[in-house]
Structure 1
């Protein structure tokens, strides 16, 4: 009974595995070794592994329990002068051992599948099945599976023969074959046949590895182009690219956050947690801007305001945003704000565009950690500071539908227990209309709703329809895509990733909507089958929000790291790493003389780090219109000259298209570190 309860408890935690198995759909892509649809590995293999573990545990537990029961009943005796096993005991144990071998045969079949997901024995060249796996380990697993089935049949026949030696012989053959053919032989073949002829032996399997890794990370459709750099800067060249030059990004979001803090926090308890990069149409021009939400940071509240009434009923929300164009600086060297102050006001050129007028600037849900708050109480909320010196406050009563009703006595008792806070029950400020808001940190909020998705680390704020919204990019991932070398992010390991979901959170009421952005992804289609009410098609997203979707930085960073090696699609080139790249380095926070101690990875005025992907508005070579792009430069390994750069389109209809511009190998194109050194000279 205890074993049954344990198995049932664990099975309940594997709900996702079971539901994905039930709702599996094909990838319409087969692996080149076992010729199974990829769905077999992604959706079915986890369930088969789970089933195998339960069957194996059940059989072993049955064998141990049966033997113990018969020992206690003296049906089995092993003493010095007497060895006795009752005939019916032999029959029972033989049947269990036969079941054990059948389960092992199932396990050997699963082991064949698992060959597609690792480096295997003694290899560091191919991820997935290599020469030794295909010619030795795979046939050995077929042999072991056949021996296990034959052994199970012989043991069943042994119920009538009752020969103890037959049981021993079956066990010896299985163990011996496993050790000799499954361990020793593959190592010998790898060492003495494959290694001396590694490239020749592994060529075909390297091709599979390259093809499936590119597919797994969505790079198989990346377009690579040669690009010849103009060495002479001419007026005609400048005129031809005037719109790109006028959009050159002057402000880096990282130091800009400090400037926003100094100029626009207004009160010490407000905080700009992050500065985001986006684009808007302003006075008919497509402009790249930085935008930051002014959130309430509870850690910055004065000690006098850290009472229950202040923290839970009064200080409930942040207020407004700041926005400035990335390509403009005022006379004092500061950002030229388009939106600033409290309440937010337009300070850009001309009248405020209608789509940038903010009628609901309150931020109840944001990026900062925030405790639960209760709204619609008898205690008015502090909306924002006002008056001379901002010494007084504008108060407000929440008008939205966010949170959960907490007005009834029963609900107050339950929430008091939930938060271990009896003030919820005892406070006289609560009314029948009161609502309690919790899970107000937006990443935590969406993770509670859809824990099976992986989320981008950079949510960004958007102005649309007079309100503030957060957009978070969400990913579907698996580490069971055959032949694909895995990558890591946030302690998660995967070899397949798609930005299949865009999540929108209303900053005022906390409403969360999941939109399917990649309907071709089998993973998100399976999740949509499991949770049909959770997802909406991207066409249902309001147009003002859809215009601010962008290619996510985290995904682009992962793809860039993978492409540094897997852009080499010729097996010979890949094997020798003849043209391996790395993401270019930069000096962050540098100044004069910053390169003096670069060899130690630290500069006098800054530190050396890899360039982060960055958004730009530019017109690509050969194209006629400006586009919002995410881009990143590459250099050869351990070199500073630029060899290529990658860009991803953020605007429809080419959203998600990846382009790689390669520079001539015989021509020196200076990279960021070399330009930095020239500036410092």
Structure 2
């Protein structure tokens, strides 16, 4: 009968155990197994274990630390009991069975009673550390940057690496001290209620224990006041004038913080004297110190005093009173956004451009002007080169390649897989995961060409046709920018006519995948676990999966890099590189912080990741093998304290940039996102004196055309810096705020201009125009184009018969002491949406030439200036040269 009564309990226990085992397996061990296999597949198993060890060691260590603190104080309180006198009371306990049990609970049962309580409290306190364990990691592995901020004189690494952990620890330690003080105090109070023969006074030992706890509370409160000083460095109360502390913060609030510390310590001492000494009958000193502290603590919350200082001291003399603080904001922002690599060149514009045109009379300078911009070219790629319905082009990238003994700027795009474009009846598990597993090849075209001619292809079609000798041994794209499901390759399917990549058969049977990437499925155990992990039983039961099959997961570039290094923030534009062996993706990655002192905050949206920050470094270049999926991380900015700390923590993960293969290093470039962000900040902070910064008389903005900003674009050209060596740079024009004339042209490149070699040395050159001469901005040049009757008539004529006229991105180039503008004109079919380059307009000053080639347009413009160089006077009118046939 007794056994029958146990059956429900056994069933209940079995159900509970089964649920626990299932949850633990499915959400802990399953992920652990698959993650381990994945890290092994990319040869980073050591990094996997190290990262896991850090996470559990730091999280467990913090929990153990707080558990020990709680348990220690509970044990002290329970063992000592605060009994007064102890021996006499305990003897009375022995004579009373009721109180003997009470005594035993307090004296000898502490482990059973207080250990679970201490553990729960420790977990509660340690929860914030579980999600921010990497903050602790940076603290332990960080080094000094040897760059000091100007307000308190601390090393910058203190703010980037140490201050975050201090701000995390201080409130937790304060909460711990307060909790222990309250709970120990309650224990002593309960003893005086339940234990007989107790004096009114606490035993001296109990007083010492409580006094020490109060001392810890006081210490952590004072630490909080000290940390409060650093919060002044991040105030935005002076925006939009400047960021950071000003007169009120440094001259008023900071002294109040110090006074608050002194008054709080005085109050704590008086409280201790009042509670624990015979002087407690005299309450006056304590109440005086308490009132003093409350007054000082409340002063920052009284608006009258800072408003009075602002109104009658700061506002009448803003530059004089805030000068040093404005300068601190300028200097800090330049450091935080790495603007110190900007070289400013004052450029006086020569209205007579004849001399500069003659100097630039080299056809080589016009061979790489990108009249094809990627926003228009993507339509042509999609229409002409996707070829199969399951392929797609997502982005067009710009790069430079040595083609026909000369460096040519090109546009290129990977032909990636997109199974969602298959017919509905073909979207089944086998097709998506075993058959249509990857993209194939890429297309490459010249960024520059003559108008009224077909697009110039360097690489095209599924058979990788090339006219310039480009070859890629393994052109399969298993990893890319698109949305990729998992793929299982190789498999036993006889895949026919998917990519058409095998030239040895008329059917185009794809070559069997023989790369190294992917998790091997070489046992029933792995098949079962992967089937559960990927939530697809067909993986286990499919007979088309062999022992040599591998499953590829995390095939999107951003997902793949973030899975490995979630602490890196990625550029929005990874770009493709074609090498002899295979295709690679290069992904720029950043380290960010919002703790750089006195630096202005900015918001930027990275892939799946919007961030507010006031410090950024392009510290890492990530290379992703598009065939195998291998990842390599190269440190491109070793001066960055954050990436140095991660590199110390994870030895072997990050490599020096010099270890990157030479053929890949030649394709490194200045990141577009970083340059755009730096120019956004530089537009205001190029005014480096407090007086100019306060006046904001030369604040810039991105140049605009048709209400859209002209974003940075890449250009390959010899700018005369390194012995006729061409540079691949980002160009960005800017105008005065609310105006259309040009203020500057910025060029960002990676060429080492000192050594004139291919060593990676990012830098920015800003050509700043004098204010006494009007330099047309892109909107003004476009207005000149639209106002010209001959050109307008041609636009009207071309925009008929099923075509629309579109003006592409305007290219703006500094050319000696003048500025060259190139405006491509496209005709786009309303049916096929394929653009055709039909004309280019070249402009210098107020003169326009429209033609089919850049070189001929430039030569005609040159002849015009040379002919009239002696007597041409600017009249403000616009002159255009149009081909006689009106084309």
- The alignment's TM-score, normalised by the length of structure 1, stands at 0.89
Partner deviation per Cα, 1:572-608 (whole Å, 9 max, x = no partner): 1100111111010123xxxxxxxxxxxxxxxxxxxx2
Distance change (3 Å), C-alpha of 1:633 and 1:241: farther
Q: In structure 2, do the counterparts of structure 1 residues 65 and 192 end up closer, same or farther at CA, with 3 Å as the change threshold?
A: farther
Q: State the alpha-carbon separation in 2 of the partners of residues 422 and 168 from structure 1.
A: 74
The alignment yields a C-alpha RMSD, in angstroms, of: 2.6
- 1:207 partner SS: helix
Deviates more, 1:174-183 or 1:517-526: 174-183
Question: Do residues 210 (structure 1) and 330 (structure 2) align?
Answer: yes
Conserved in 2, the CA contact under 8 Å of 1:91 and 1:159? no
* Native 8 Å contact 1:614 1:632 kept in 2: yes
Return the alpha-carbon distance in structure 2 between the equivalents of residues 654 and 442 of structure 1: 23
Equivalent residue, structure 1, for 2:263: 147
Cα-to-partner distance string for 1:302-358 (whole Å, 9 max, x where unaligned): 2122111111111100000000111114754x421100000211034xxx1xxx311
- What residue is the counterpart of 1:593 in the other structure? none
Match of 2:583 in 1: 468
Is the contact made by 1:94 and 1:155 (CA closer than 8 Å) also made in structure 2?
Answer: no
Q: Is it true that 1:111 corresponds to 2:225 in the alignment?
A: no
- Check the 8 A contact 2:348/2:770 in 1, yes or no: yes
8 Å CA contact 1:325, 1:337 repeated in 2: yes
Q: Report SS of the residue matched to 1:650.
A: strand
Aligned twin of 2:179: 61
Q: Distance between the aligned counterparts of 1:319 and 1:206, measured in 2?
A: 55
Contact 1:329 1:335 (8 Å CA) reproduced:
no
Task: Mark the CA change 1:575 to 1:437 in structure 2 (over 3 Å): closer, same or farther.
Answer: same
Report the counterpart of residue 675 of structure 1 in structure 2: 781
Q: 2:398 aligned with 1:277, yes or no? A: yes
1:489 is paired with a residue whose SS is strand
1:125 partnered with 2:241: yes
In 2: Cα distance, 1:523 partner to 1:125 partner: 30
1:183 deviates by 4.6
Q: Matches of residues 212-227 of structure 1 in structure 2 within 5 Å?
A: 212-227=332-347
Shift of 1:620: 2.2
In the TM superposition, residue 656 of structure 1 has moved relative to its aligned partner by 1.1
Q: 1:150 to 1:236 in 2, by over 3 A?
A: closer
| Equivalent residues of 1:358, 1:463 under 8 A apart | yes
User: 1:638 aligned to 730, 733, 738, which one?
Assistant: 738
Structure 1 residue 672: deviation in Å?
0.7
| Aligned counterpart, 2:57 | none
Q: 1:36 aligns with which of 154, 161, 164?
A: 154
Q: For residues 427 and 75 of structure 1, what CA distance do their matches in structure 2 show?
A: 73
Q: In structure 1, how many angstroms separate the alpha carbons of the residues matched to 2:211 and 2:320? A: 48
1-side partners of 2:782 and 2:189: how far apart? 80
2:612 is aligned, of 488, 493, 497, to 493
The aligned residue for residue 253 of structure 2 is 137
Q: What is the 5 A alignment of 1:547-586?
A: 547-586=666-705
Structure 2 counterpart of 1:604: none
Secondary structure of residue in 2 paired with 1:439: coil
Residue number in structure 2 paired with 1:319: 440
Query: Are the equivalent residues in 2 in contact too, given 1:322–1:341 (CA < 8 A)?
Result: yes
Q: Provide closer, same or farther for how the CA distance between residues 87 and 367 of structure 1 changes in structure 2, counting only shifts above 3 A.
A: same
Q: Distance in 2 between matches of 1:10 and 1:423?
A: 41
> Match for residue 511 of structure 2?
396
Give me the whole-angstrom Cα distance separating, in 1, the residues matched to 2:336 and 2:365: 33
**In the alignment, what sits opposite 1:592?**
none
Q: Is residue 2:510 matched to residue 1:510?
A: no
Mapped partners of 2:217, 2:584: distance in 1: 57
Alignment partners' CA distance in 2, 1:403 and 1:496:
36
Please name the residue that 2:879 is paired with: none
User: Are positions 1:100 and 2:217 aligned together?
Assistant: yes
The equivalent residue for 1:618 is 717
Please give the residue correspondences for 1:246-325 in structure 2 after superposition, counting only pairs within 5 Å.
246-325=367-446
Of 226-235 and 445-454, more deviation after overlay is shown by 226-235
- Cα 1:69/1:323, change in 2 over 3 Å: same
Question: Quick one: distance in 2 between partners of 1:296 and 1:106?
Answer: 57
1:419 is displaced (CA, Å) by 1.4
Aligned to 2:835: none
Confirm or deny that 1:240 pairs with 2:357.
no
1:472 is displaced (CA, Å) by 0.3
Please identify, of 610-619 and 91-100, the stretch whose mean Cα deviation from structure 2 is larger. Answer: 91-100
Query: Scaled by the length of structure 2, what TM-score is found?
Result: 0.69
Matches within 5 A, 1:655-674: 655-674=761-780
Note closer, same or farther for the CA distance 1:432–1:246 as it changes in structure 2 (3 Å cut): closer
